[in-house]
Structure 1
């Protein structure tokens, strides 16, 4: 997060190192938080741990293919997926989209076009904020307005949900109070410093009620983190 702006996280699942490295540099230069899978085992588990905002997925991968990965992913997640592959037939594209892919780009691709496709898909998916976030076994459901941990649930307000979602999008990172307020204003939640304190206190009480008393940590003079 820079200046209160959340950097979209893109996960690259590509086994050809030269292409993978090129994509990492391209996307980082374009301002994205970029992660590339380099060990092609338990890919679905790695995706779950990474919690990306968008996935660039090759089809031909060691020991498995992108079709199966996308199929498994769609059982639990609606994260946008762009297939980026050397396969270029209409049947490949049809299969990729029918299995849950959001877009299909054949190699060799035009880099500006790829960036435009990524931006367009992120914009479309961002019209409604990510439905569910899960960090450290705590689940935040934005549509239901509730948090859940170990089977226990608690209702939270819109403001509390926005605060928690901001922190959950950057686990382990300290978010300053000013960055948090700026993020909330960008998302049409208009609160001041005192109101932020009240909301964080109420949120901590609700987290305590479901067995997560220390979920939000205060770094004195710096901000909050989870």
Structure 2
């Protein structure tokens, strides 16, 4: 999932890119509207500042929306109602006023993507596991699995890129808070519950010293004998 940060302040741009990368996104930054319009390949999400040096961000939004259905989230210090209305009228999907927390930004990105992504990109599949991001449902084979919100978010973090090791800190920042400094034992408790409910040994793997990933599940459990 590619995110383009359109921001002329290098410090803010770097902070956003690093935070997005920790959350599992492929992120890059450009400092101007023209650079945003020329970006290739086209991103999935644009985080768009309005106060750009070469052109107003509202005009950038209008041109982007005129040619693409990508997700556009305005991130700006301009909080007046007129600015909000202008950006939303030109096709912005959301509007976030600085300063803001990274956790809120990530939540807004997920919410916007649920609205704008094609249905086939809402289904994450691995082995016989299917994660439906739109309905937040999970099936293993033909069996629907009831997960808590936190268990679902952990599974989503792993399922977006099966096989990639997701660090414990990345999951904590993504699922709980961008600046989580508490004990990591809470993650172990939720992962244990997730494994128990999925009932596929080997599906959620621990990579010691690094984090977790989706692996190749062992043979499916033998169904109970019918009396």
Q: Any idea what the Cα deviations from partners look like across 1:23-74, whole Å, max 9, x if unmatched?
A: 011100111111111465443122xx12111100000101111111111112
Change (3 A) 1:62 1:187: same
Please give the alpha-carbon distance, in whole angstroms, between the structure 2 residues aligned to 1:21 and 1:9: 15
Counterpart residue number, 2:13: 20
Tell me which residue corresponds to 1:80: 71
- Structure scoring higher RCO (CA < 8 A, sep ≥ 6) equals 1
Distance 2:66 2:82 in 1: 23
1:90–1:40 CA distance, 2 compared to 1 (3 A): closer
- Whether 1:31 aligns to 2:24 is yes
Q: Which runs of 5+ in 2 are unaligned?
A: 133-227
* Count of residue pairs brought into register by the alignment: 131
Distance 1:9 1:15 in 2: 19
Counterpart position of 1:110: 101
Give SS of 1:100's match.
coil
TM-score by length of 1: 0.52
**Cα separation, 2, equivalents of 1:23 and 1:42:** 17
3-state SS of 2:66 partner: coil
* Structure 2 counterpart SS, 1:18: helix
In 1, Cα distance between the equivalents of 2:24 and 2:55? 31
> Helix, strand or coil: the match of 1:50?
coil
Question: Which residue number in structure 2 is paired with residue 51 of structure 1?
Answer: 42
Counterpart-to-counterpart distance in 2, 1:123 and 1:103? 13
Counterparts in 2 of 1:183 and 1:74: CA distance versus 1, 3 Å: farther
The aligned runs of 1:1-226 (5 Å cut-off) are 8-38=1-31, 41-46=34-39, 49-129=40-120, 182=126
TM-score by length of 2: 0.52
How far has the Cα of 1:124 moved from its partner?
2.1
- Structure 1: gaps spanning 5 or more residues: 1-7, 131-180, 189-226
